[in-house]
């Protein structure tokens, strides 16, 4: 039995989890920071870093207690080493290094995106490589061919905003509060997805990538016109995102013919309309569809512990000098997308 302690602190959730190699989540503790960031309408990096520094060790202690183990029973410590808000990443990674040194255990530096990318395999033991992954979160929107642990080919990325960012900005515009995605989804249930005519950027184009900035601006203009109810704006916005995600994923499936399944992960994968549309797309292609349970889609430490398990099984551990990385692409060879890094 291999037991791994996972630590996550790359954005605004502090989390610690213990996961074994039989995919049993022996403990999972998570502390959100919504109240601390709420007055600012978005995540404030320094406030996040300070909260991680306060919460991380109590969560580790609580997780060990929940599982009825001590640090000595753990086989390795996996910590998110990037990408993310660097202050928070450093808190988690340095905590992981200190625990690894104190307990004389190996350290595994996990790419947060790899945590999301492999999370469906924690949930589903039957999910084999290679699979096509739509990774949609607050900071990323990518299509990746996942061929193995550490083997990722990026087929598409966003040329401006991430899908989750578009949800968050729409929520902010309509003053729905944070986190934006679930708030927009809830209000969209009461609205008409056809009420507001909105653009679907890059739909049906040969270019493989995503774009959401134009959609965001269109929602802003529609809102300012005063003609539409917030519920109709949310429903129409969400439908536009669904259409874009499905169209781009369909295009990637045509390229990634070796994929044996369609998988969605990342916070946006918690959205029921998006899950349902992708499930239909997968069925149309005769492929199985996998989406982790909602709590495993948004940031958590179980996915970091699981990525640690996958790496540990292959003998992939890291030295105590491993760096914290604010940027860390899963596919270092990927071509730059037009406009990448240029923020609207
Ligand atoms: O993966 P995640 O927890 O953190 C990042 O690594 O970014 O993703 C958070 C993002 C946020 O933008 C949030 O609004 C979005 O995922 N999200 C959703 C839903 N739940 C979370 N977006 C749409 N529908 C949801 N139900
Ligand atoms: Zn994430």
* The predicted structure's pLDDT at residue 344: 37
DSSP 270: G
Q: Which of 187, 268, 297, 300 to mutate to test the pocket of ligand 1 (most atoms within 8 A of CB)?
A: 268
| Residue 290 vs residues 117, 126, 227: alpha-carbon distances, Å | 12, 10, 39
Distance separating alpha carbons of residues 195 and 217, to the nearest angstrom: 17
78, part of any domain = yes
At 320, list the tokens: 């105590």
Q: Which of 41, 161, 167 to mutate to test the pocket of ligand 1 (most atoms within 8 A of CB)?
A: 167
Q: How many domains does the structure of the chain reveal?
A: 2
Do 42 and 142 have their domain in common? no
Burial of 206 from C-beta contacts in 10 A (0-12 / 13-18 / 19+) = exposed
Do 50 and 149 have their domain in common? no
* The predicted structure's pLDDT at residue 340: 57
Do 136 and 187 have their domain in common? yes
Sequence length of the chain is 344
206, part of any domain = yes
Kindly list the averaged pLDDT for each block of 10 residues, start to end, along the chain of length 344: 98 97 98 89 91 98 98 98 98 98 98 97 97 96 98 97 96 91 98 98 93 97 98 98 98 97 96 98 98 96 98 98 97 80 44
| Domain encompassing residue 141 | 129-295
* The predicted structure's pLDDT at residue 339: 62
Q: Angle at the Cα of 89 (from 316 to 118), degrees rounded to 5?
A: 45
74, part of any domain = yes
The atom number, within ligand 1, closest to the CA of 139 reads 7
Do 182 and 91 have their domain in common? no
* The predicted structure's pLDDT at residue 179: 83
CATH code assigned at 84? 3.30.420.40
| Residue 142 in contact with ligand 1 by CB distance below 6 A | no
194, part of any domain = yes
Do 85 and 138 have their domain in common? no
What spacing in Å lies between the alpha carbon of 226 and ligand 2's midpoint? 34
* The predicted structure's pLDDT at residue 185: 98
* The predicted structure's pLDDT at residue 336: 80
Q: The whole model's pTM is what?
A: 0.94
193, part of any domain = yes
336, part of any domain = no
Residue nearest to atom 13 of ligand 1 (CA): 181
Phi, psi dihedrals of residue 133, rounded to the nearest 5°:
-115, 125
Beta carbons of 176 and 187 less than 8 angstroms apart: yes
Distance separating alpha carbons of residues 46 and 64, to the nearest angstrom: 28
Give the closest residue to 266 by CA, choosing from 82, 150, 133. 133
Beta carbons of 143 and 208 less than 8 angstroms apart: yes
Do 161 and 259 have their domain in common? yes
């Amino acid at each position: 039995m291999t037991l791994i302690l996972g630590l996550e602190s790359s954005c605004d959730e502090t989390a610690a989890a213990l996961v074994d190699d039989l995919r049993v989540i022996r403990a999972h503790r998570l502390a959100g920071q919504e109240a601390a960031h709420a007055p600012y309408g978005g995540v404030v990096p320094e406030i996040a870093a300070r909260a991680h520094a306060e919460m991380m060790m109590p969560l580790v202690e609580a997780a060990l207690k929940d599982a009825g183990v001590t640090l000595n029973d753990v086989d390795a410590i996996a910590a998110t080493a990037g990408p993310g808000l660097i202050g928070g990443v450093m808190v988690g990674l340095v905590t992981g290094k200190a625990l690894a040194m104190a307990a004389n255990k190996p350290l595994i530096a996990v790419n947060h995106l790899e945590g999301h990318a492999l999370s469906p395999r924690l949930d589903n033991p039957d999910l084999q490589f290679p699979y096509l992954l739509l990774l949609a979160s607050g900071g990323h929107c990518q299509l990746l061919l996942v061929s193995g642990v550490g083997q990722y080919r990026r087929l598409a990325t966003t040329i401006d905003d991430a899908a989750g960012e578009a949800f968050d900005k729409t929520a902010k515009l309509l003053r729905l509060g944070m986190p934006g995605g679930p708030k927009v989804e809830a209000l969209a249930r009461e609205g008409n997805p056809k009420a507001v005519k909105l653009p679907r950027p890059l739909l049906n184009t040969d270019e493989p990538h995503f774009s959401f900035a134009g959609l965001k601006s269109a929602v802003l203009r529609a809102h300012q016109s005063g003609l539409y109810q917030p519920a109709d704006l949310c429903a129409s916005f969400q439908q536009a995102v669904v259409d874009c995600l499905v169209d781009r994923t369909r295009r990637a499936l045509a390229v990634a013919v070796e994929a044996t399944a369609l998988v969605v992960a990342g916070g946006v994968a918690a959205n029921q309309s998006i899950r349902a549309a992708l499930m239909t797309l997968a069925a149309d292609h005769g492929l199985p569809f996998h989406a982790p349970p909602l709590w495993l889609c948004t940031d958590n430490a179980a996915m970091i512990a699981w990525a640690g398990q996958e790496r540990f099984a292959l003998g992939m551990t890291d030295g105590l000098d491993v760096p914290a990385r604010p940027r860390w692409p899963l596919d270092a060879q990927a071509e730059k997308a037009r406009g990448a890094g240029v923020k609207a």
